[in-house]
Amino acid sequence: MFISLACSVLFGLSQRTGDFIVAALLGLVQLVMRINPMETFSAIHADIFDRLPSNIASTYSKFNLDGRVTVYAVCPKCHALYTPEGSYQQVFPKICTFQITPDVIPCGEPLLSTAADLSEADTPNDTKPKKPIPIKTFHYHSFNDYVASLLAREDIETLCDNICDETLDALCHGDPQFMRTVFDASFVRSFPGPTTDPTTGQPQLFSHREGELRLIFSLSIDGFPAEGSRKRSAAYSCGIITMMCLNLPLNLCSKPEYMYVAGIIPGPTEPHDVQLNHYIRPLIDELTLSYERGVFYSCTAKSRRGRLTRSAVVLSVNDLPAARKISQLGWHRSHFYCTVCCCYHLSTLGRTD
């Protein structure tokens, strides 16, 4: 388990390669256990072999390296999300009951695989009834667990603290002449905070910290063809929701190991219009609590007694279609094509007067 995990984490191997390494090592274990190839496993060896993980995903679960993951059932039609019902059974609803407005008929789309679909996947000798599974799922990774992984490293926590202290010291000197980082921008320095600074009377995020760690992030959502884009090929599009911690230096914040992936939006088509709201709602709920009330971590690399953190999204970096979906504004090819001025109608698009 350790060999396969080290190869996957340290060398950045894909899931398919990790599964191959696990399978190869399991084969070696079988050869070692079977002293005589003609004999079967003993009871002890069979019990040991059953406890071993069969793929890289189960190996991760043994070491408890991943944060909390919430699995949602996704409506194939309207993209509404549903959590399991019941603390023990973990049963998903059967029918989508989402209404975009109170006066609209509920969606009514089935959420779970039918009995016919399940019977096709079963083996002929398998008589145990199968529990219906969601047709489509969305795995959401906890944002608070991601922040906890950053604060588990003393060098990362020190970098985040230092940039907050530098910004607090620079607030009394006005905006700098040259911008080195996003923290030199006026909109970040004046970003509203949950508490009011007693000296200035303004609710600024980086003023009046009192030992709290303030983190800022940029949010990005994008769709991509998971199976490649070829001429006359079937379009299959997925989406990804990521955030980048801007407290880290520029040479670190954009590296994959320091970025936060909230989840992968399942295909085969991208969510339209307001449907994207379903996928970002779990993230917004966690960010709201982190910004307004703060999240207290019982222990960090620098604070053994724990500390309070607050997080906020100050930037949203996307292409035009994703930007309009996130902000719930008109499409970039609609007559209301601008989000800043009052220009109207596509016939005026491109005019410079």
Instruction: Convert the pLDDT of each residue in 250-295 to its tens digit.
Output: 889 889 889 999 999 988 888 887 888 999 999 999 999 999 899 9
Is the pLDDT at 40 greater than 60? The verdict is yes
**Which has the minimum average pLDDT: 23-27, 103-107, 209-213, 317-321?**
209-213
Is the pLDDT at 328 greater than 60? The verdict is yes
Specify which of 39-48, 123-132, 258-267 reaches the highest per-range mean pLDDT.
258-267
Residue 335 is assigned to a structural domain of this protein: no
Residues 248 and 300 grouped into a single domain? yes
**Which has the minimum average pLDDT: 9-13, 82-86, 120-124, 221-225?**
120-124
Residue 353 is assigned to a structural domain of this protein: no
Query: What is the pLDDT, as a whole number, of residue 116?
Result: 47
Residue 162 is assigned to a structural domain of this protein: yes
Neighbour count for residue 241 (Cβ, 10 Å): 23
**Which has the minimum average pLDDT: 55-69, 111-125, 201-215, 219-233?**
111-125
Residues 170 and 46 grouped into a single domain? no
Q: Long-range contacts made by residues 117-125, C-beta under 8 angstroms, separation at least 24?
A: none
Residues 165 and 285 grouped into a single domain? yes
Q: Predicted confidence band at 245 (pLDDT cuts at 50, 70, 90)? A: very high
- Portion of the chain with pLDDT greater than 90, in percent: 25
Q: What is the mean pLDDT of residues 49-70?
A: 81
Residues 194 and 294 grouped into a single domain? yes
Residues 54 and 159 grouped into a single domain? no
Is the pLDDT at 110 greater than 80? The verdict is yes
Neighbour count for residue 192 (Cβ, 10 Å): 11
Q: What is the mean pLDDT of residues 314-319?
A: 90
Query: For all residues of the chain together, what is the average pLDDT?
Result: 83
Query: What is the pLDDT, as a whole number, of residue 142?
Result: 93
Residues 146 and 174 grouped into a single domain? yes
Centroid of chain to Cα 280: 9
Domain assignment of residue 9, given as a range: 2-63
pLDDT digits (tens, 9 = 90+) for 214-244: 999 999 998 888 766 666 555 678 889 999 9
Query: What is the pLDDT, as a whole number, of residue 234?
Result: 57
In this structure, are residues 214 and 162 in contact, taking their beta carbons and an 8 Å threshold?
no
Is the pLDDT at 346 greater than 70? The verdict is yes
Residues 185 and 284 grouped into a single domain? yes
Cα 53 from Cα 58, distance rounded (Å): 5
Q: Predicted confidence band at 130 (pLDDT cuts at 50, 70, 90)? A: low
Is the pLDDT at 117 greater than 50? The verdict is yes
**Which has the minimum average pLDDT: 23-27, 30-34, 195-199?**
195-199
Residue 83 is assigned to a structural domain of this protein: yes
Point out the domain boundary residue: 113, 138, 163: 138
Point out the domain boundary residue: 85, 120, 138: 138
Query: What is the pLDDT, as a whole number, of residue 193?
Result: 81
Residues 201 and 298 grouped into a single domain? yes
Q: What is the mean pLDDT of residues 97-112?
A: 89
At residue 20, what is the residue type? Answer: F
pLDDT digits (tens, 9 = 90+) for 144-180: 999 999 999 899 999 988 888 888 777 777 777 788 8
Point out the domain boundary residue: 79, 113, 138: 138
Neighbour count for residue 295 (Cβ, 10 Å): 18
- Portion of the chain with pLDDT greater than 70, in percent: 86
Residues 193 and 51 grouped into a single domain? no
* Residues paired with residue 73 on neighbouring β-strands, in sequence order: 82, 137
Domains contained in the chain, number: 3
Residues 177 and 311 grouped into a single domain? yes
Cα 320 from Cα 318, distance rounded (Å): 6
Q: What is the mean pLDDT of residues 313-332?
A: 86
Centroid of chain to Cα 13: 20
- Dihedral of CA atoms 50, 53, 54, 58 in degrees, nearest 10, equals 140
Q: Predicted confidence band at 312 (pLDDT cuts at 50, 70, 90)? A: very high
